[in-house]
Structure 1
Amino acid sequence: MADDGRAKRLKSSQDGGVAEVAELRARVAELESVITKLKLDNLQHIAALKSENEQLRRGRREEGSHEVLPVATLVITAVDLSRVDKSIVTLISSFLDSSNELLNLALTCKSFGWRQPMSTPNWSLVEEVARQAVFSRATEEEMGCLPQYVRGTATWLSILHRYEHLLIFDVLLGGYIEHRNGDKTAVCAKGEDYRDSVAVSGSYVMSSGAHYAEFLITGTSPCIGIVRPMPGLDAGAYQENFHLLDNRFYTDFLAQRTDDWGNSDVHACEYFCDDGGMRWTDWHDNRFDDEWEGRESCQSGDTFGMLLNLEEGTLTVYKNNRRLGVMMDGLSGPYCWYVSLYKSQTVTGTVSIKRGALPDFDGATRT
């Protein structure tokens, strides 16, 4: 009886195990079906996304769908510059800041640098920009100091370059002075000690209006002033000690006189930076005034300014943008800027010249 019971239980257990296995297999089959369906759905979704993306790329609109934005593409279009209005190109070119930049533009393309057959004066585009730059920047007084345009001789580009370098020391008198590192806006003493020489801004002749220049003093005590233009003076003949208030040369200087000099007998007038004194000459006698109203010395590192007002006939001086006073009056006729330098055992240095903002005659600076 006991053995029969065990046999029945074993058979029942075996039947239950078979049923459980069958159930697990059914469950696995169901899961595999779900997975297959998910994979199919996923593939269909991917295909739909690809199709939609392709439609977006082509920028097409399908029936019943929202409008889609087309994908932006870069389109390169060739422009024929000959069809662009010349005034527009001229305006754009005017933003170039210097004559050197305009020269580079002219060398870049023959259309910019060659003469334009359709223009009345037959100027190139670069020449027209240079001409406009000169007339827009230069004052009436500065225009009088610039070379005149002459076809085949002076170009507007060269005139603009001259305007950009309006104040230079282009005349050296005496054998003890030289340009600093080839820079014509700065001079320094050389050679023996206690030998004077002079540098003149001879190409900038001031004959009317108001003119202002600044001189930066470095390690020296120069004389700075105005002198009559003497273009016929042979600078090569003066290779020793030289000064514009040296009576040995007065006959040579007076031989350069022209009717333009007018009635004023002030032919050279200078400020001595060491003590602030003033000296002037009619090239017969020398006069000194150590007590003029604004007497004050200038030292190394100072910026000394001179305002020549030929409407009022006055020479006013400034130190570091501060007005010292009127140093000379009764001036008329043409003048040039100059500096006189000497070197000692303890004093040497340079003086540079540049244009400055024109002050008002009451001492304020114009804006």
Structure 2
Amino acid sequence: MADDGRAKRLKSSQEGGVAEVAELRARVAELELKNETLRQENRQHAGGIAALESENEQLRRRGRAEGNHEVLPVVVAATVDLSRVDTSIVIHVTSFLTSSNELLNLALTCKSFGWRQPMLTLNWSLVEEFARQAVSSRTTDAEMSSLPRYVSGTTTWLSILYRYEHLLEFDVLLGGFIEHRNGDKTAVCAKGEDHFDSVAVSIRYTMKLGAHYAEFLITGAPCIGIVRPMPGLDAGAYQENFHWFDDLLFADFLAQRSDDWGDSEVHACEFSCDDGTMNCTGWDDEIQFGLNWEGMESCQPGDTIGMLLNLDEGTLTVYRNNRRLGVIKDGLSGPYCWYVSLVNRPSVTDEVSIKRGTLPNSDREARN
């Protein structure tokens, strides 16, 4: 009887073990099926990734062929109604665009940016509104007086912002021995024959009121100064030696005189970087040439010459490498433009670049 019991228990135990093994095998088969399914999905994903990478590479090549190394073409299927977006939010986002070219590109992107918006008080575009805000926040009163005025239908705020960004350029070249350096209108250099003068004028930046400070990086020994604006002077008529102190040309210069020149007879005044002297003329019989003045210094190639024209005080002050030399001329009134006079010498060729500057700290604090 005992042996029979053991036999029954052994048989029962064997049957249970066989069932567990069968269950485990079924579970293993199920897991292997799932693993195979995952492997197939991974292979599909890998193929998709490879296809996307191939497409991206094709787009990059197309971009490089078109001269654009960064931007890939994007197709947007959805239409967004920007009239539902709060204007202040759009203007805030637009404020991260810093140049007139960026704003122009935005205006061309969508009529909601570039077309007039009835929601704005003055009924102009969002781009125009931000251009107006940019001009108003960045420019001084003196600079604003030198910029075009906004006229609806004629002058846009976007064009005014562009002019502000290119405030100081040598717009007019007089004489046949000068050229822009590498096409850059902020820089000029002498050319051609030795000891022939030519002049570059920043005529579009006409200074009429307030204080104006500009910096000139020099090579050689140019002359730097101010001259009356003469927009009607025909630059093409002067292709030989040219400077403001040629008495044969005084009649041409005075023919450009306008009422806003005022009472001051100082029509051209310059600082000589060669010996530090001052030259001045009213385009009459008297020419002040090579005058000494308190604080005068000669300059070296590589120096930065600062010029401060203060029309509130009627003075022209000279700086050398951020150090104030002194007032070179007083009694000034009426409008003036910056100019430089260059000569091509055997030893060195005159070159000058112009940019807006900031007064040295000591002088700015004294003025405040």
TM-score (ref. length: structure 1): 0.77
Question: Per-residue CA shift, 1:238-258, capped at 9, x if unaligned?
Answer: 111000111111111122222
Q: Secondary structure at the match of 1:166?
A: coil
Partner Cα distance (2:366, 2:96) in 1: 27
Determine if contact 1:211/1:358 at 8 Å carries over to the other structure: no
Deviating above 2 A after TM superposition, structure 1's stretches of 4 or more consecutive aligned residues are: 24-43, 77-82, 117-122, 288-291, 358-367
C-alpha change, 1:346 and 1:165, in structure 2 (3 Å) is: same
The residue correspondences of 1:14-33 to structure 2 (distance < 5 A) are none
What's the counterpart of residue 212 of structure 1? Answer: 213
Determine if contact 1:274/1:297 at 8 Å carries over to the other structure: yes
Aligned letter for 2:93? Answer: I
- When the two chains are superposed, the root-mean-square deviation of aligned CA atoms in Å is 3.1
Aligned letter for 2:194? Answer: D
Determine if contact 1:196/1:342 at 8 Å carries over to the other structure: yes
Q: Secondary structure at the match of 1:217?
A: strand
Determine if contact 2:222/2:350 at 8 Å carries over to the other structure: no
What's the counterpart of residue 47 of structure 1? Answer: none
Question: Per-residue CA shift, 1:166-190, capped at 9, x if unaligned?
Answer: 1111111111111112211111112
What's the counterpart of residue 337 of structure 1? Answer: 338
Question: Per-residue CA shift, 1:97-154, capped at 9, x if unaligned?
Answer: 1101111111222211122244343311111110111111111111111111122221
The residue correspondences of 1:132-143 to structure 2 (distance < 5 A) are 132-143=133-144
Matched, 1:261 2:274: no
Partner Cα distance (1:36, 1:331) in 2: 109
Determine if contact 2:222/2:273 at 8 Å carries over to the other structure: yes
Aligned letter for 1:200? Answer: V
C-alpha change, 1:39 and 1:175, in structure 2 (3 Å) is: same
Matched, 1:195 2:158: no
Q: Secondary structure at the match of 1:132?
A: helix
Determine if contact 1:359/1:365 at 8 Å carries over to the other structure: no
Q: Secondary structure at the match of 2:103?
A: helix
Question: Per-residue CA shift, 1:238-288, capped at 9, x if unaligned?
Answer: 111000111111111122222222222211110111111111111122113
Q: Larger Rg: 1 or 2?
A: 1
Q: Secondary structure at the match of 2:341?
A: strand
What's the counterpart of residue 250 of structure 1? Answer: 250
What's the counterpart of residue 92 of structure 2? Answer: 91
What's the counterpart of residue 236 of structure 2? Answer: 236
Q: Which is worse superposed, 125-134 or 32-41? A: 32-41
Partner Cα distance (1:175, 1:40) in 2: 97
C-alpha change, 1:156 and 1:197, in structure 2 (3 Å) is: same
Aligned letter for 2:227? Answer: V
Q: Secondary structure at the match of 1:203?
A: strand
Determine if contact 1:208/1:310 at 8 Å carries over to the other structure: yes
Partner Cα distance (2:292, 2:143) in 1: 33
Partner Cα distance (1:243, 1:198) in 2: 6
Q: Secondary structure at the match of 2:89?
A: helix
Determine if contact 1:190/1:343 at 8 Å carries over to the other structure: yes
Aligned letter for 1:238? Answer: Y
Q: Secondary structure at the match of 1:205?
A: strand
Determine if contact 1:359/1:366 at 8 Å carries over to the other structure: no
Partner Cα distance (1:178, 1:359) in 2: 31
Count of aligned pairs between the two proteins? 314
